[in-house]
Amino acid sequence: MSDPGDDEAEDVDAAPLLRYSNMQREFYEHQAQISQYDDDIVESVVGSYAEHEQWGDYDRFLMKYVDASFTNKLGLDFGTGPGRNIIRYHHLFQRLDGCDIGQTNLDNAAKMLERREIPVPRLLLTNGRDVGPVEDNTYDFIFSSICMQHICVYEIRYSIFEHMYRALRKLGRISIQMGFGVSPGKVSYFDNFYDADTTNGYCDTMVENPDFIDNDLRQLGFQNFEYWVRPVGPGDHHPFWIFFTATK
């Protein structure tokens, strides 16, 4: 699908997409504004912040294929929030950028990085349906955790995959975590629930079958799909998590 930019606000077909993206932006802006990231973190965006910092599956599966060669490569954290994963993994890359739908999240990420004396990378504002103002063939690795599962509109997730593919260099890799398994109150993988009035765990999608993801990625040109079904992570209510990866 083509990217429905904000200049299409009067397009009838784009209106549901814009409504959902605006809802998400407003939600995350509010959550970021009431969070604190000083010595004592009071956090409303990530949730279970300290527990996520200790969750070993991120190292084992999200970063499974990140080796010493990546110190000369560029990475992008999709849905970076306050930059938790940039702080955790920046040392593995030449530069690890972040993108997010909320400007306050990006501002908080910059402050967190500066406080830890970590150089602030590119922090890119997205429209909720892309990866921000990124040139084609820029990144070697794009990853995301506790983010894509919060988007209950299939059309938007597909658009994000499309933009990830565009932004990757040849042979570049995506690595993503989502919720897995059938669960009451979750939206089916292919549903477009434009009218959701909340997000961030309160109205999530579920991956019922890994083939759904594999087929989407293959349509876009991705190859070498792999996945791992794992125990659900901190503060989440899906039956399981799924980590998956593919290359351009």
pLDDT (tens digit, 9 = 90+) per residue, 10-33?
Answer: 444 789 999 999 999 999 999 999
Q: Looking up tokens 């579920």, which residue turns up? A: 206
Binned at pLDDT 50, 70 and 90, residue 43 comes out as: confident
The CATH fold of domain 6-247 = Rossmann fold (3.40.50)
The closest of 42, 37, 38, 84 to 62, measured between CA atoms, is 84
> Residue 5: CB partners within 8 Å, gap ≥ 6?
127
- Does the model's pTM come out above 0.75? yes
Q: Dihedral sign, CA of 51, 57, 62, 68?
A: positive
Q: Is the pLDDT of residue 179 over 60?
A: yes
85: pLDDT strictly greater than 50: yes
Paired with 166 in beta bridges are none
Domain edges within the chain: 6-247
Query: CA 127, CA 137: separation in Å to the nearest integer?
Result: 20
What tokens appear for 104 in the block? Answer: 């306050």
Instruction: Decide if pLDDT at 8 tops 90.
Output: no
pLDDT at 38: 82
Higher pLDDT, 74 or 49: 74
CA distances from 134 to 76, 147, 163, 166 (A): 10, 19, 9, 9
> How high is the pLDDT of residue 14?
86
Q: CB neighbours of 186 closer than 8 A, spacing ≥ 6?
A: 179, 204, 205, 206, 238
Q: What is the pLDDT of residues 180-227, one digit of tens each?
A: 999 999 999 999 999 999 999 999 999 999 999 999 999 999 999 999
∠ CA(195), CA(199), CA(203), 5° rounding? 70
Q: What was the pLDDT predicted at 48?
A: 85
pLDDT digits 0-9 by tens, 114-171: 999 999 999 999 999 999 999 999 999 999 999 999 999 999 999 999 999 999 999 9
